[in-house]
Amino acid sequence: MAYVLALNSGSSSLKFGLYRVRSSETERLIAGEAESIGEGVGDFHVEDNTGRPLLRESSPLPSQEAAIARIAQLLTQMQMPPPQTIGHRIVHGGPKLRQHCVISASVLAELDAAAVFAPLHMPVALSVIRYCDEHFPALPQVACFDTSFHADMPDIASVLPLPYALRSEGIQRYGFHGLSCESIVAQLSDALPDRLVIAHLGNGASVTAVLHGKSIDTSMGMTPTGGIIMGTRSGDLDPGILVYLARQKQLDATMLERLVDQRSGLLGISGVSADLRALREAAPSNAAARLAIDMFCYSAAKQIAAMSAALGGIDLLVFTGGIGENDAAVRAHICQRLSSIGVHLDEARNFCVSDYITESTSSCRVRVLPSREDAQIARHAWALYRRVQPINARAALKKGLT
C-alpha cells in the first residue's frame, strides 16, 4: 500500500487528489483544485471521497508554486497521511518518452526538449515538477503521459503524409487524453466491448477508436491542437491556411500558435466565449453563438463516424470529459447525426444520465462515464513506486555498508 499525490496541471489551474493505493484498489481520500492561478484572487476548493465539500477559499495564488505550497499545507492541516510519491499528468513526452516513468534528471531533460510539441501545456507541467521537488524533496515523482495509451497505434493511423526525414524527427500522430481513455477502459472492465469509441469532450476534445482495449486511431495529431473544434483551439485546418497567413499577413510562428491555440475554436467562431454554457445563454439572440455550438457538435459527430469506419462499426460510444459528462443537449445534438451507425438516443435517459442512454433498438449503445485521470495517475505512480523502492533500499544498504 502507498499514498500517492496525483497532480494535473493546467495553464491557470492545478487539480490534485490524495489516494490510498493497493494492488486491486484505488481509494481517493480528498481531492480539490486551485483555480485562477496568477489572476489576482484565486479559488481553492477541496472535497472528500464522496464529493462532499470540505473547504472553499478565495485568496491570492500568484503562481503554481503557491498552489503547491497551499496543497502541502492543507495535507498537514487535515492530518492526511503524507504522500510517498507524486504522480503528474504530462500531456506530451515527445518521441522518446512514450511510457510512464519515474522522473530523473535525464527524464526531465527529455521533457524540456518535448515542450516544443505542446507549448500550451508543457511549460506549466515542468514548473510544477520542479516546485514539487522543492516542497517534497524526499519523494520520487512519476510522469504519466497522455500519449502512452496511443503509443502502439498502427502505422496507418500514426504516420503522417510527410517526407521520411521529417517523420524520423518525431513528427507523427501521437494522440492525447490517454489517461482519460485508460480510465474508461478500466471502468468498463469485463463489460469492455470489442469496438469502443470514446468522445472526451471538454475545453480540449478528442475522439478515440479502441479495438479490444487498444487505441487504433484518434482525432488529435502531433499536438493537442488537432482534431475536432475545441474551446479556444481550432482543431484540424487546411495547412494552406497557415501558409497563407504567414505569407500574406506576415504572422510568425508565435502569432500562429496564439491564433490556433488561444483565439480559435468556439471562442473564435462565436466571438463570445469558449464556454458552451455561456454560448447557450447567448444563443437565442446571437447567431454566431448558435453556429459555434452547431459546428462543435457537427465536428464531433463526423469524427465519431470516422472512427466507426476505422473499427468496422461501433458497439459502444462513451461520452466523457466536462462537456461529455454534463451537457445532455450536446450529447443529443451529436447523436442526432449518428442514426446511420445505429445510434438511437433515449431522450429521458440522456437527460437523467441513466446507465445506457440509448433505446433498446439502438445497435450502437451509448453511455456517459466520468473521466478518472487522477485515479489512473495514482495507479501508475504506485506501480512505479513499488518498482523503485527496492532499488532505493539496496542503494541505501550498500552506502551504509561502505
Q: Which residues are catalytic?
A: 146
Round to whole Å and give the CA distance between 113 and 102. Answer: 17
Round to whole Å and give the CA distance between 278 and 286. Answer: 11
Query: 245: burial class by Cβ within 10 Å (0-12, 13-18, 19+)?
Result: middle
Q: Are residues 66 and 14 in contact, defined by beta-carbon separation less than 8 angstroms? A: no
One-letter amino acid for residue 348 of the chain: A
Give the list of residues 6+ apart from residue 222 with CB closer than 8 angstroms, or none: 117, 160, 171, 172, 173, 174
Say if strands 53-59 and 42-48 run parallel, antiparallel, or are unpaired.
antiparallel
Query: 337: burial class by Cβ within 10 Å (0-12, 13-18, 19+)?
Result: middle
H runs (alpha helix) in 24-63:
none
Round to whole Å and give the CA distance between 386 and 342. Answer: 45
Round to whole Å and give the CA distance between 55 and 47. Answer: 7
One-letter amino acid for residue 331 of the chain: R
Give one DSSP letter per residue of 63-112, joined into a string. Answer: SHHHHHHHHHHHHHHTTPPPPSEEEEEES--TTT--S-EE--HHHHHHHH
Going from the C-alpha of 293 to that of each of 3, 24, 39, 234, 331, the distances in angstroms are 42, 41, 28, 14, 12
One-letter amino acid for residue 396 of the chain: A
Round to whole Å and give the CA distance between 171 and 297. Answer: 29
Residue 285, H or E segment: none
Q: Integer distance in angstroms from the first to the last C-alpha of the chain?
A: 31
Query: Strand (E) positions, 91-213?
Result: 101-102, 141-145, 195-201, 205-211
